[in-house]
Amino acid sequence: MWLSDKIKSITPSATLSITSLAKQMKKDGEDVVILAAGEPDFDTPDIIKQAAIKAINDGFTKYTPASGTLTLKSEICRKLKKDNGLDYEPGQIVVSNGAKHSIYNALQAICNPGDEVLIVPPYWVSYPEMVKLAGAVSVVVEVDEANRFKTEVSALEKAVTNKTKALILNSPSNPAGVIYNKAELLAIAAFCLEKNILVISDEIYEKIIYDGKEHFSIASCSEEMKNSTILVNGMSKSYSMTGWRIGYIAANKEIVSLVSSLQSHATSNPCSISQVAAETALTADLDDELKKNSDIFQARRDAILEMFKDEDKISCLVPSGAFYMFCDISKCGMGSLEFAKKLLDEKKVAVIPGGPFGDDRFIRISFATDSDTLEKGINRIKEWIN
């Protein structure tokens, strides 16, 4: 049977496959500790759930405009002004089925066959595959490990060619929790403007930040940079709304027009009920709850660092945001996939191998789970590696 070579070349998501396997093992009665999930363990706030229930009871269950409702777009614009100092109009917003869908749409809209897209390791596993689906080529830029896996203008200069179309920038990042400060982003922005490179700025972990650090969007560097940025965000991580599937882009009207056209034929509108829920999330006074959740994540991060502090065979980067620990297992004498498979098989602990993130020396541990589960899982890892 002649099937799509392009789709056959795509690698399934390592995070989803391992998490799915671990959940099935747990369902089958095995004592599995899952430290792999990329979603908060907190429930969606009640006020958001109640808004969705009301939307159902009110019959808001029909098609909406393909790019999202005007009321939700307006609230996204208000959020971007309040949190990021950015002025957008509703006509510069497209609401999609999650931030992943938003990034996919953006790449489809801007890439031509053979275009090159710069990605920064360690990167989210879906970036290279989505670039491939857009007919483009991923170019992995150098990072400074001493500077916590950040890229710099000097590294970007080495990676740029006359085929470079875009840079995907993720801050705070998955899997390493890297945050770029304002000075770093101003330098990257100036370089991208000089080279006429678009930036896809993935800011989905914006609200999950530690140690008093602040999020700064590269789109706010200048009006010119805003016009060259496709800002991606959504409801999944900050508001514990992973299953609701609402993400969005903010971009110039030319890009938004292309994304809107693509989405109208590919998926039509995102879920009408989820859009109401997202609108409520953005209008409700939830800042204190989000801050409390972030503080809990930070306490869990610190607990993991304490548990691993005397361990010789594994060392962990200290994340400044998101809810993952990227841990160096190179002294254990095996690659990340072998490590993850053996750990799950022999100690019933699920972690994500670092290979699909671009660095086979590492594994990713999610601390989006309760403290008792974390302690149980980390102790098993320590026992196993020794």
Q: Are the C-beta atoms of 354 and 325 separated by less than 8 Å?
A: no
**Which residue ranges does the chain devote to CATH 3.40.640.10?**
47-283
Q: Are the C-beta atoms of 384 and 343 separated by less than 8 Å?
A: yes
Q: Are the C-beta atoms of 247 and 331 separated by less than 8 Å?
A: no
CA distance 86 to 84: 5
pLDDT given at position 146 = 72
CA distance 118 to 127: 10
pLDDT given at position 213 = 95
More confident residue, 85 or 9: 85
- CA angle, 314 then 23 then 386, to 5°: 25
Chain-centroid distance of CA 310 in Å reads: 30
What is the pLDDT averaged over residues 380-384?
A: 96
What is the pLDDT averaged over residues 152-170?
A: 97
- 85 burial class (0-12, 13-18, 19+ CB within 10 angstroms)? exposed
**Which residue ranges does the chain devote to CATH 3.90.1150.10?**
5-44+287-385
CA distance 359 to 381: 20
Nearest one of 164, 169, 188, 189 to 179, comparing CA atoms: 169
Taking the chain, what is the end-to-end CA distance rounded to the nearest angstrom? Answer: 49
Instruction: Output the CATH code of domain 47-283.
Output: 3.40.640.10
Tens digit of pLDDT for each residue in 169-178?
Answer: 999 999 999 9
Q: Is the pLDDT of residue 131 over 90?
A: yes
Tens digit of pLDDT for each residue in 270-318?
Answer: 999 999 999 999 999 999 999 999 999 999 999 999 999 999 999 999 9
Nearest one of 274, 284, 291, 121 to 206, comparing CA atoms: 291
Percentage above 90 pLDDT, the chain? 89
Tens digit of pLDDT for each residue in 335-369?
Answer: 999 999 999 999 999 999 999 999 999 999 999 99
What is the pLDDT averaged over residues 88-108?
A: 98
pLDDT given at position 23 = 84
Tokens of 176: 């390493």
Q: Which amino acid is at 339?
A: F
Tens digit of pLDDT for each residue in 179-200?
Answer: 999 999 999 999 999 999 999 9
What is the pLDDT averaged over residues 115-128?
A: 96
CA distance 232 to 251: 9
Q: Which of 86-90, 144-148, 237-241, 373-377 has the lowest mean pLDDT?
A: 144-148
- 154 burial class (0-12, 13-18, 19+ CB within 10 angstroms)? exposed
Length of the chain: 386
pLDDT given at position 96 = 98
Indicate the DSSP class of residue 148. T
Judge: domain 5-44+287-385, CATH 3.30.360.10: no
Task: Give CA separation, 67 vs 92, 258, 259, in Å.
Answer: 10, 11, 8
Tens digit of pLDDT for each residue in 10-23?
Answer: 887 777 777 788 88
Its pTM stands at 0.95
Mean pLDDT of the residues in the chain: 95
Q: Is the pLDDT of residue 163 over 80?
A: yes
| Confidence category of residue 38, pLDDT binned at 50, 70, 90 | confident
pLDDT given at position 246 = 98
Q: Is the pLDDT of residue 148 over 80?
A: no
pLDDT given at position 11 = 83
pLDDT given at position 377 = 97
| Confidence category of residue 332, pLDDT binned at 50, 70, 90 | very high
Beta strands in the chain (DSSP E): 33-34, 93-96, 116-119, 137-140, 164-170, 198-202, 229-234, 247-250, 315-316, 324-328, 349-350, 352-353, 362-366
Report CA torsion sign: 323, 366, 200, 100.
negative
